[in-house]
Amino acid sequence: MNGLYYIYQYKTTNVLLRMRKFITLIIFSAIIVVCAPKQQKPVRIEPVKKDTVKSVPANEFGMWKIASYAGNLGDNRNTAYLTNTFAIWGSFSDNTNEKAELKVKFLIDKETFSIKLLEHGTKTVKKGDENLYKICIKSSANEQIEFTARNVLDRIFIKGTDAQKIIELFNKGGVISFSLISDSKTSPAKYAFALENPDGFGNAYKKLSE
């Protein structure tokens, strides 16, 4: 009798355990369904609209700008002149320097065309014992002009006819290379520099003349 009782208890316990597992499984499945995130509809990705690239108009004066002598260079005249907007760099060689740094500044007004040379970028080349500078200018189109000019005080002044030839080269653009050699007996020197695309000069000079 006891044996039958224990068998009955054993079967009953197994049935209860199986039911408990089944109920637990149902509850767990229900929790997953409730907590699972809702699936969103696929979002259509629109192509990104690109802004229209607007070309920036080139400066009509190119590398040149109009300035005023007033309060500049010790000159009291209120006269406009043309000069290079950015520094022009080159090199110079003399008795103590070999291809040292050179800075160049153009000073051009209605009456004069001059070039100011600054050795090492700061020391202005002033008149010494030289009489003339031999100047050679070449364009990227293999055009070449040669002439001589004088340093009157702190800049080299170029005669009108020679200045006009330079202006014609400027207006054609390209690379314009300069070579200047002084005939100084005590300190002969050679200067070299180049301008890239100086073709806005014509517009700037026309504006200066208005």
Per-residue confidence (pLDDT) for residue 71, from 0 to 100: 53
- How do residues 45-87 score in pLDDT, each as one tens digit? 344 333 333 333 457 888 999 998 765 444 445 589 999 999 9
- At CB < 8 A and 24+ separation, what contacts does 31-40 make? none
pTM here is 0.69
Q: State how far the alpha carbon of 35 is from the alpha carbons of 25, 29, 38, 57, in Å.
A: 15, 10, 9, 61
Strands 80-84 and 88-93, sheet pairing:
unpaired
On the question of pLDDT at 91 being above 90, the answer is: yes
- Determine the Cα–Cα distance for residues 146 and 159; give it in Å rounded to an integer: 12
Residue identified by tokens 């209860």 is: 16
Per-residue confidence (pLDDT) for residue 20, from 0 to 100: 62
Per-residue confidence (pLDDT) for residue 58, from 0 to 100: 52
- Determine the Cα–Cα distance for residues 65 and 198; give it in Å rounded to an integer: 11
On the question of pLDDT at 167 being above 90, the answer is: yes
Contact 106, 118 (CB under 8 A): no
Per-residue confidence (pLDDT) for residue 77, from 0 to 100: 54
On the question of pLDDT at 12 being above 60, the answer is: no
